[in-house]
Amino acid sequence: MAYDKDLVAAKLRRWEKFLENYSLPSWDEIPNFGLYMEQVVTLLYEYVDYLPPELKDEQVVTPSAINNYVRTKVMPEPVKKRYYRIHIAYLIMICTLKQTLSISLIQKIIPTGIDESEVKKIYSAYVSRHGLSSKAFIHIVRLLGADILNHEEENELVAKDTSDLIFTVALMGGFSKLLADKLILLEGKDINNGGSIEIEQGPKD
């Protein structure tokens, strides 16, 4: 595979700058006056539409997708066809998580049927973790792409070229998804019924 190093370096720097300036809206920044479906879709584009056009198979979210989330109880029902802050908060979390998690697993970690104060608590923690994860990702990419970015870095993880970088971030993404899936499935279990695990053995007498 042939890649222009200067082009890749420019893309990495642009992506880093974007992530440094990107953030999900806080709870209080989300409108709470009741939006109709088309207005919700437009707003979500503003909040979470960070995929470049060439990677999009379809819209970030569609009216049919939202209706399906409501029907399958992944999020609360609208009130007289209007969506309020609580609905949009659910949709922001769903849209950002579905890049890596299945809807059924998202449903396990973001419960419905809870009061608004609890949703606010979950959403606020999610926004904070999203920002911290973004910073951690920037740090990892700086390390992995040190040679491409002409940074001095002594670490075996540094990618030799763009193909190496692609393989590494793709593999890390796969490992991260697998770990998240496994951890979600531990909900409600304990050491006795948590499935196949390896228990560290203590020293023998």
Tens place of pLDDT per residue across the chain (205 aa): 789 999 999 999 998 998 899 999 999 999 999 999 999 999 998 898 665 555 455 566 889 999 999 999 999 999 999 999 999 999 999 999 988 999 999 999 999 999 999 999 999 999 999 999 999 999 999 999 999 999 888 899 999 999 999 999 999 999 999 999 999 999 888 988 876 655 555 555 4
Question: What is the signed CA dihedral for 52, 58, 64, 70, rounded to 10 degrees?
Answer: -50
pLDDT at 55: 47
The domain of 148 spans 5-184
DSSP state of 88: H
**CA separation for the pair 166, 161 (Å, rounded):** 9
Residue 189 lies in a domain: no
pLDDT at 59: 65
Residue 55 lies in a domain: yes
pLDDT at 194: 74
SS3 177: helix
pLDDT at 51: 57
User: Count of domains in the chain?
Assistant: 1
What number of other Cβ atoms are within 10 A of residue 150's Cβ?
A: 9
Residue 91 lies in a domain: yes
Q: What is the pTM of this model?
A: 0.88
Residue 153 backbone dihedrals phi, psi, to 5 degrees = -150, 120
Residue 157 backbone dihedrals phi, psi, to 5 degrees = -75, -20
Residue 92 lies in a domain: yes
